[in-house]
Structure formats: structure tokens, C-alpha cells
Structure 1
Amino acid sequence: MLRHVLSVTVPASLIALLAACGNGEPVAQSIRPALVVQPQPAGELMDSYPGEVRARLEPELAFRIGGKVTKRLVEVGDRVKKDQPLAELDPQDVRLQLEAMRAQVAAAEANLRLVRAERDRYQKLLARQLVSRSQFDNAENLYRSGQARLKQVKAEFDVASNQAGYAVLRASQDGIIARRMVEVGQVVAAGQSVFTLAANGEREVLISLPEQAFERFKVGQQVAVELWSQPDQRFSGRIREMSPSADPQSRTFAARVAFSEGEVPAELGQSARVFIAHNGEVPLAVPLSALSAEKGRPFVWVVTAPDSTLERRPVRIGAYGEKSVPILEGLSPSDWVVAAGVQVLREGQQVRPVDRENRLVELAAKE
């Protein structure tokens, strides 16, 4: 009898205890975070080439006159503004030349005043018929010659004045000093490169293409760019420029890759890799950790908008890679796939999608 009573009362007490703890309401489940990624082009079916981030515009800066460098005002890596002084030459020679031309201008002006007065005097005498016409014409010619001489020396003075200003090398535009090829005390010739300026603005990736596969590439070809500082993200780009001749030492062809996206966090000198697809369509790929299988049928977990619930998506896969697996069917580039902890997920579960930096991912609703 006592045993029967206990078997009845104990479950009833447990039910009462649970009801008291929850006040009769079900306990809400917490939404767990889920690391998500978007499918990327399969790297195993693409060629990769190392590169370096460069500025699209890299003018070589040089003095317009020759001379001895007396001052170097910037170093490699310095940010400069347009018209900022970068280096100076010894100005003594150009100043002396400028003074000589100033003296010639003064002499030409004095000569012009003399021949003008002579011409005016002969003109009055001609009116009174006290000199011949040929004498007046001679005075007129001397006056015109004096005018031409003054115009000539003034032009030469302007040239000398400009050359005095050329003794100071200034930045042609805003940018960063990428290379320096001069030291104080060095004598440089006119037009000899002194600095390389990486102008502000667009950034590109400089790569070298092999000679044996050069015919496979063309200007405008779509590529993917990966920065070493951001190995889990690829940026779309295109081949903007290809050198028509090979480097005589490496026997490779230089090519420049422009980013297709507007703002890319690429800094000058950063290392990068450029992925160029083989002929044909390149499938998407996901990390190996994102793939699950049941009864030999592979699938991935896709986070769907707008409530961030999980959908079990069957996929057809290709040959396994070292870190990823190609997805031949079942995914689109805009899908967000769970990349970790897929063994404990279930259909319809609500999650909080985050990226590798633990930032919340905003899912775009499909139209």
C-alpha cells in the first residue's frame, strides 16, 4: 500500500515542482550563434599567381635641369601633398644665369630707348626734308631691331627664371613616396628619375604571368584577388593591362589587375594572390567543415532570411580539396552556409549568423 502511494505521489510532486519553477510557462530556448560563409570559386580549378598591391598611377619624378642635390626632404613611405618640395639642387648656377639674363634685359631696354629717340629725331628731320628717306629707313630698322632684341632677351629671362624654380622638385599630386633613387651630394642629369610617387586613388595588383601560358590570358579577363592579410575573403577583379614583352631575366609578362569593387582595404606593398580560372565554368566551393552527409547523401546547412532559420540543402559535390570541396549543384554565390558545428544542427532551428570576426551577418531576402 505504501509503495503504491509513493509511486503515485512522487510524479505528481515533480510535476508540481516544474510548474512552480516555470510559473506554468515553457522555458524559452537561447539562440545559438553560427559561423557562416558564402561559397567561393573553387581554388583547385584556378591558377594562382603571387602579386603586390601597387598604385594605379606611379609617376617617376625628376628634375627638369641637371645639378648637384643639396637637400632631400622626404623618405620612402612619406605621404606628400601636391606641390610639396621633395628635393633641391644647388641653385648657384641657375641664379647666376638668371642675373646674367636680367642684365641683358636692362641693356636691351636701354638700347631700345636710344634707337627710339633716334628714330623720332630722324622722323622730324624727314618732315622738314633735312635728311633723306634712306637715312630715316635706317633709323626705323634700328628701332625695330631693338624691339625684337628686347622681346628675345625677355623670353630668355623667363626661361632662366623657370629654371631657377626647377631647382626645387615638387610633388605632382597627392600620394606616397614609393621609391627613392637619389642621395644628397649626388649629381643628377635633367630627366633622371629621383622618386617614384604612388598617387592616391585606385589600387591594383602587379603579377607576373608565365611565358608558356601567356596566350590564355587577355585584357578584361575576370579574376579573383585574395589579400594575405584577409585570407578568407576574395575580391573580384579584372586584368587591366598586360605587358607586350617579357622581362629579359625572369621571362615573365607583367600584368596589372584592377579591383572591380569600389573600396577594397588594400594598402601599398601588401602581398596578394590572384586566382585565374581555367577554361570553362568554375564551380563554387565551401569549407570541408561545412559539409555533412546522411546515408551517403551530402548536404549543407543554409541560413535563410528573414528569421535566420536553418534549411538542409542537398548538394552535389566534386573532388575533395585540401581545405574545401567543390559544390557542383545546390548552392548559389549569395547563400550563407554554416561552416562549423554542423553535427548538432537541426532543420528549422533559428540561429544568429556571424562571420569569422564574430560580426553579425545581415541576410538579404531573396526576391
Structure 2
Amino acid sequence: MTHHPRWNTVVLFICWLVAPAESYAQADNVVPVRVETVAAEAVSDSLVLAGSVNSLQRSELSTEIDGRVNGLNVDVGSKVKQGDLLLALDKQLAQQELSQAQAALEEAQVEYDEAARALAEANKLVDQNHIAKTELLTRENRQLAAKASLNGAKANVSYRQTLIDKHQLFAPFDGIIVRKNAEVGEWHSRGSSVLTLVSTNELRVDVFLPQEKYAQLDTISSITLIPDTQPDQPIEAEIATFVPVGTEGARSFLLRLRTIQNEELVPGTSVMVKLDFAMDQEGIVVSRDALLRHADGGYSAFVVEGDKARRRQLTLGKSAMAGVVVLKGLKANEKVVIRGNEVLQEGQKVKVESSGREGNSADN
């Protein structure tokens, strides 16, 4: 179908009339926004690292002698106190050997008593010349030999009693049994691990500090632990130990932390460690809600001047506690749009409905 040239002229004229009207309507549109007043404030740096909860006391418990397990008083997860009996070996044979040693001690005591009596008698007779001096010397030697046998028998009884005591395994400190390698009836050799005991009283969080943060170690202002077992309950911590020797592979330094108020942690679990570093400088900090990202990766924000929005190209620095540090593009006390900025255009009229940051009042 062919259009008359006159109709084309009419259409162009109508478009010319409508287009400016729409532009004027858009320019007159007032957008409600929320702003915050930015200020120069102390800039802090933070770092989040993965850490692990470790106990300062962890022991692989073992018996000091060979034997068959006769009694087991704990299981995995059992909480024990120092001195509690954990495991016992069959001591029947050791008890018989102790009885034999005690009998030998009694015999040695009798022999010594007899030798001592004979020597005392000889000492009386030698003064009266009723016994030869050689006989006196013989009795003295016999008494010395009996005394040595008696001492040996006593030592053997003590040794056998010690062996019986070693048939029992006691907890060396308070803690939790985390592993059990023995069952009743099993034979275990000395030195083999039968139980693993971990203390819950002295816990530390180990985290590795990257080498680029080594120079900032003294500027750490606060440390917060976020346990994976209780992510909604952050815990304040402090440095307990710092190992100033870097690991070869990771190029990092061991930082050992302890809780400030002795909050409970679970050994072997993981935690997120947030380190806050104080910095000797101030900067303009803006909320992340104010940032508009461009396709080229840059950022901008709108500020309110009078009743109009003005776009500012921003150069950003590091993240801060309250937002992001702006290196270039904003000045202190400027009002930055944090709500409604997605639909704003340069020079568009705005109406400030509320303000953020330190309770600033809304603009009119």
C-alpha cells in the first residue's frame, strides 16, 4: 500500500510535537530518595581468615606394660576428670608374682633376723674368748649377705607392686575421650595407643596470617571469632601466641588466639576469624547502597545539590567497617543517595524523604 507524501509530513510533525512534551514531563518528574551525609572518618582495614580450634593438651594414652584388657570404663565422648580410672588390664598373673615376691621377702627377713642374732651372740662370746675371731668374721659376713638378700626381696616386692599399679590407666588431666582403640578382651602391647584424650579447658584458635599482613600485626584493633557450630554467636578474642617464623609453602605465620571471656569452643571444629586493623588515616566512607556499577567496571554515585541529583564518578579504595572508602569523587558533608538511585538521571529533581548516617534530618 502506497502512502501519500502529505501523510508522512503530518506524522513527522506530530512526532516533533510529542517528543519534547515527553522530555519535559520526565524533567519535571520528582523522584523520592533517601540520602546519607558522608564524612571523613578513621579508615579501618579488615581481613577474614579460616581458623581451627585446637586443644593445648591432647594425649594418645597407652599402657606401660603388655596385657589383656579386663575393664573399660569410658567410651568415645566420655567426659573424665584427672585421676579417673579409664582402663584396667588383667592382673591375675602379676598378683601371683607379687605373692611369690612377698613370700621371698618373709624368708629373707627370717634369714636376716637369724644372722643378726648369731652375730650378736658372737660379739658377747668373743669378749670372753669363748669364740674364735674367724667365726666372728664369718657371722658378720653372713649377716651382711642376709641384709643384702632382704633389701633385694624388698625391692622385688616394690617392683611387683608397681607392675600391678601399671595395670590400670588413669586420666592425666580433665577432658573428653575422642577415640577408643581398645575393647575388653583384647591384648595390647606397651606403647600402643588405647585411648585419645583431649582437654577442653585450654583451647586455642590457630590461624595463618598472610605475609603481606605481617607488618600490620601491631595494628590489630579487634579480633572476632565466628564458630561454624554457632555462626550467630560471635566471640571476642585476643592474640595468645605469635610464631614469627613463616611456613615455606604458604608464606604465612601462625597466629594462636584465645577467647577473652572463656567462651566455650569445640575442639577440632572450624571458625572464621575476622581481624580488624587500625589505620592512621581518614577517608570518605560511603555505604555500598550508594554505589552504581558501570559496564566497564567503574563506579559512580548521585549526590543531592539543592533539589537535583548530580552523578559523581568514583575512585574506590579498600572496604571499611561502614562501607567502602572513596579515594576520589566525594567530599565530606555531601549528601549521597542510597535509595532510589537506580532510576535517577543527571540533573533530575529529587525529594529527600529521609536521611541516614548519624540521624541527619531530611532536606526540603
Decide: shared fold, TM above 0.5: yes
- Taking structure 1 as reference, are residues 348 and 288 closer, same or farther at Cα in structure 2, changes over 3 Å only? closer
Match of 1:115 in 2: 115
- Distance of aligned partners of 1:90 and 1:347 in 2 relative to their CA distance in 1, 3 Å threshold: closer
Contact 1:176 / 1:197 at 8 angstroms: preserved in 2? yes
- Tell whether 2:154 aligns with 1:154: yes
Identity of aligned residues (%): 19
What TM-score, normalized to structure 1?
Answer: 0.58
Q: Deviations over 1:276-296 (max 9, x none)?
A: 689x889999985699x8717
Q: Distance in 2 between matches of 1:217 and 1:205?
A: 18
For residues 167 and 110 of structure 2, the distance between their equivalents in structure 1, rounded to whole angstroms, comes to 31
Q: Which has the higher strand share?
A: 2
Give the Cα–Cα distance (whole angstroms) in 2 for the partners of residues 196 and 282 of structure 1.
51
Residue 166 of structure 1 aligns with which residue?
166
- Following superposition of structure 1 onto structure 2, how do residues 275-286 of structure 1 map, counting pairs within 5 Å? none
Q: 1:255 to 1:79 in 2, by over 3 A?
A: farther
List aligned pairs for 1:23-62, cutoff 5 A: 42-43=45-46, 46=47, 48-51=49-52, 53-62=53-62
- Aligned partner of 2:195 in structure 1 is 195
**Following TM superposition, by how much is the alpha carbon of 1:115 offset from its aligned partner in structure 2, in angstroms?**
0.8
Partner of 1:240: 241
Q: What one-letter code is carried by the residue in structure 2 that aligns with 1:267? A: V
Name 1:22's counterpart in structure 2. Answer: none
Residues 217 and 276 of structure 1: is their aligned pair in 2 closer, same or farther, counting only changes over 3 Å?
farther
Closer, same or farther: CA 106–80 of 1 in aligned 2, 3 Å: same
Which of 285, 294, 303 matches 1:295? 303
Alignment of 1:266 with 2:265, yes or no, is yes
Q: CA distance change for structure 1 residues 230 and 54 in 2, over 3 Å: closer, same or farther?
A: same
Q: Is the 8 A contact 1:204 1:256 kept in 2?
A: no
| Alignment partner of 1:89 is 2:72 | no
Alpha-carbon distance in structure 2 between the residues aligned to 1:177 and 1:40: 47
Question: How big is each residue's C-alpha offset from its partner over 1:105-135, in whole Å with a ceiling of 9 and x where there is no partner?
Answer: 1111111122112212222221221222222
**In the aligned structure 2, how far is the partner of 1:348 from the partner of 1:281?**
23
Query: Counterpart amino acid of 1:203?
Result: L
Q: Which runs of 5+ in 1 are unaligned?
A: 1-38, 298-315, 330-339, 351-367
Please give the alpha-carbon distance, in whole angstroms, between the structure 2 residues aligned to 1:231 and 1:40: 26
CA RMSD of aligned residues (A): 4.6
For residues 282-327 of structure 1, the C-alpha deviation after alignment (integer angstroms, 9 at most, x for no partner) is 9999985699x87179xxxxxxxxxxxxxxxxxx973469x98345
2: CA distance, partners of 1:294 / 1:108: 104
The offset of 1:136, in angstroms, is 0.6
TM-score scaled by length of structure 2: 0.59
- Identify the structure with bigger relative contact order (alpha carbons < 8 Å, sequence gap 6+): 2
